Amino acid sequence: MASFDPDRISLPDGHYIHGRLVPGTGALAVSRPSDGKVYAMLPAADAGCVDAAVDSARRAFTSSDWARRPPRERARVMRRWADLIEADIDDLAALESLGSTRPIDQARAWDVPYTAEGIRFFAEFADKCGGEVAATASDHLGMQIAEPLGVVGAIAPWNFPLSMTCWKVAPALAAGNTVVLKPSEMTPFSAVRLAALAVEAGIPPGVFNVIQGSGPVTGEALCRHPGVAKVTFTGSTGTGRAIMHACADTGPKPVTLELGGKSPQLVFADVPDLDRTAQTLAAAITGNAGQVCVAGSRLLVERPLLAPLVERLQQRFATLEPGLTWHSGTRFSPLISAVQAERVETIVSRAREAGAELLAGGTRFETDMGGCFYRPTILQVGASDNPAVREEIFGPVLTIQTFDDEEEALGLAEHEIYGLAAGVHTADLGRALRAVRRLSAGTVWVNRYGRSNDYILPTGGYKRSGIGRDLGRAAFEANLQHKSVLIDLTP
């Protein structure tokens, strides 16, 4: 299945609690980004519904054998779950692309397989982190025992619904926890399908629950619930602060937060292949129409490269045409909503009023599709206090600043608020390593940009770009707590 009819897709419309779909009264309109059409009315979980989901997860934690199951058996069931996800690619990819910004070709080629393999990756940690024996006196035995936390509350964003759900749910379940997930109210349905496949694979009912609703109501109730032991979230820095506040008020309870970014890409004049570099830079800001937390949105270019690099970027941007996410062949995504499109337009307008020069784009595509498609945009900027440099835009808008030497480049790369990711493009290994050490970012890519399928590499931010790490061993260990034990061995 590639292209499909969006009006013929069956939707798992409701919450998923204790192994079954729980319908509710439609309260939230859900629109398709590609054409703006309202295609579903979503039930919104109030405090009572959140309580039911958390209670289901708590009962599953204490009464099912999930936390006590031999770790290799837990891993085996999760691998079966991953197999079912891959076998369900037609339905899952359609659900993903129907109501999100993910084109169907990309959902099939990357999102679904990435989700399945991510589950397999974390399943393999199930028996790898059990604790350790401590050095104590010879007549004592000291040890630390790793145990699951209990109920993990997870809140996933709308830009990559399936893969972000995997980031939150897979390490928590592999560690023996249970989960209550709130997907974005804009992209609610693929997570429900994932939860149903989990039960089909043999994960006990109640171990993975999904509740629908808005952040201010449902998300707030989930974060504040006393039965939730930890919260994990990906989204904006502002929402991350609100989640931390709620968790502090009702705990304190630990949080993992992957938040906003304004990631620089430093391009030095010695790059060996300018065409390849230009392709990398273009993909880093136009992928998912720039709606990526690690989007390489701030381009810092050594002055001699400015004109040839801009020319190459303009050429690549000119080839991108918008398309419906359910049509095979679509390469450029819509913005998630009219509200987001207006936000992008507002920041671009303010940036130009503050002195930015428009080199490409700067307007919406004129189409009859009904969705909001914004042209890939280049703004040449002088001052670093320009709104387009300071603020996360979450759209296909690239700022360009020039530098004359390495020290100036590193100074421009520094951002007072964000430190999520960065890119360095150079043929000089020493320069690359110096930059890696100096850049205030949780991830630095050299002569490439963007995440790979190396699940072992954790991701997270410096500064206000987050706390804790997703992916890697760090994500698994963040779902464990440790109990110290000291045994007296004297007769």
Q: Which residues are catalytic?
A: 258, 293
- Could you tell me if 158 and 336 are in contact, meaning their C-beta atoms sit under 8 angstroms apart? yes
56, 59, 65, 69: CA torsion to nearest 10: 80
171-174-178 Cα angle (round to 5): 85
Residue for token pair 């009702």: 250
Return the number of other C-beta atoms located less than 10 Å from residue 1's C-beta: 11
Helix, coil or strand: residue 459: strand
- Could you tell me if 441 and 421 are in contact, meaning their C-beta atoms sit under 8 angstroms apart? yes
Helix, coil or strand: residue 461: coil
How far apart (Å, rounded) are the C-alpha atoms in residues 28 and 44? 7
How far apart (Å, rounded) are the C-alpha atoms in residues 387 and 348? 8
- Compute CA 4 distance to the chain's CA centroid, rounded to the nearest angstrom: 26
The strand ranges marked E within 245-386 are: 255-258, 264-267, 298-302, 357-360, 377-380
Residue for token pair 């703006």: 36
HSE (CB half, 13 Å, CA atoms) of 96?
A: 31
Taking alpha carbons only, the member of 222, 19, 12 closest to residue 96 is 12
The strand ranges marked E within 197-337 are: 208-210, 230-234, 255-258, 264-267, 298-302
| Residues 195-206: b if buried by 16+ CB within 10 A, e if exposed | bbbbbebebbbb
Return the number of other C-beta atoms located less than 10 Å from residue 490's C-beta: 6
Residue for token pair 């809140």: 155
Burial of 430 (0-12, 13-18, 19+ CB in 10 A): exposed
Return the number of other C-beta atoms located less than 10 Å from residue 456's C-beta: 9
Return the number of other C-beta atoms located less than 10 Å from residue 259's C-beta: 26
3-state secondary structure 192-223: HHHHHHHHHHCCCCCCEEECCCCHHHHHHHHH
Q: In what order do the strands lie in the sheet with 208-210?
A: 20-22, 15-17, 208-210, 178-182, 151-155, 230-234, 255-258, 466-467
